[in-house]
Amino acid sequence: MHDVEVKRRMGEEDIASVAALLRAAERADNHAPLGEHKWIDLVQGGRAGFAGFVARRPGSAQLAGYAQLSRGHGSWAIEYVVHPAARAVRERVVEDLLRAALGEIALSGGGHVHVWVPKPDAADDAVARSVGLARGREIHQMRRALPLGPDLAGSARATLRPFVVGEDEAAWLALNNRAFRSHPEQGAWDRGTLAEREEQTWFDPAGFLLHESDGRLDAFCWTKIHGDEVCEGGAGARGLGEIYVIGVDPSAQGRGLGRSVLLAGLDYLAGRGLGVAMLYVDASDAAAVHLYHSTGFGIDHRDQAYVGDVASVEP
């Protein structure tokens, strides 16, 4: 058993300890262990529904693992990470963290929960079953080389303009929330959510590309450049760019606009000298998966959500 402490607001020392754990895990796994939304919640102190859980072996000051809980659009989400030095007992660390997080959900009224795990294995399945969860949504991370090849050279590109900070927020939020109205993570953004992204060091309005028809926003391709992250593309891989979010207004669908704004976004990333593009897509979104395959993307790895329903209990 591990001692698990719940923190509904993280202090500077807490953040520093968790950040050190995350860096160690990223070096071991070659990918960021905590999603960006969760990291922002962590460093900014958390919003309603936030809780952090730190696990230690009895008598030890070093974190064995960390889990983070957040309330989403009609559900709860949990992500966790285990320190590389504690992976010999990984399953026990994860089970202790999950039981604490699920208990917090029960005390907060219960509800549907997603536990996100990158590159899951049989041990992850077993731990999920032990706490009453089962496999649910699957997300693909897809990648392709840049620049685009001659097979896509003649494909139509949309004419896009960069996002203007201080002017485009309201119109973009309205478009985003129409395009993702049923999406559990993307469908309920507000000014605060967007402002948090604008404050990130990676944010660049030049790569936040908007499409207009008759003076009205109807599609966009928001790109992100991943700093110094190492690509696994071998010799010649010059950096990683992401199609961070891409959306088309429901009223404008069926015109090939999604494909043309995607290609324009990839051209933008290639023009910045990047050698690899990546994106995330829900495996159940057949139309989107087909679009990305048709433009040269292949699956790099899969992230799995383990899901279940937690009953409310009295505090």
What are the Cα distances from residue 72, in Å, to 34, 136, 271, 298? Answer: 16, 16, 35, 29
pTM of structure: 0.82
Same domain, 166 and 61: no
- Name the nearest CA neighbour of 141 among 69, 229, 204: 229
Q: How far apart are CA 282 and CA 76, in angstroms?
A: 18
Residue 315 lies in a domain: no
Q: Which two tokens stand for residue 176?
A: 């985003």
Give the tens place of pLDDT for each residue, 20-70.
Answer: 999 999 899 877 787 777 777 777 766 677 899 999 988 888 899 999 998
State the total domains in the chain: 2
Residue 267 lies in a domain: yes
What is the number of other CB atoms lying within 10 angstroms of the CB of residue 280? Answer: 14
Give the tens place of pLDDT for each residue, 232-281.
Answer: 443 334 589 999 999 999 999 889 999 999 999 999 999 999 999 999 99
Q: How far apart are CA 25 and CA 96, in angstroms?
A: 18
Same domain, 27 and 74: yes
Same domain, 18 and 42: yes
Residue 309 lies in a domain: no
Q: Which two tokens stand for residue 190?
A: 């507000």
**In which element (H, E) is residue 92 found?**
helix 90-107
Give the tens place of pLDDT for each residue, 133-183.
Answer: 999 999 999 999 999 999 997 898 999 999 999 999 999 999 999 999 877
Q: Which two tokens stand for residue 54?
A: 């730190």
Residue 313 lies in a domain: no
Q: How far apart are CA 118 and CA 124, in angstroms?
A: 10
CATH number (domain holding residue 111) = 3.40.630.30
Q: How far apart are CA 238 and CA 228, in angstroms?
A: 10
Domain containing residue 298: 142-303
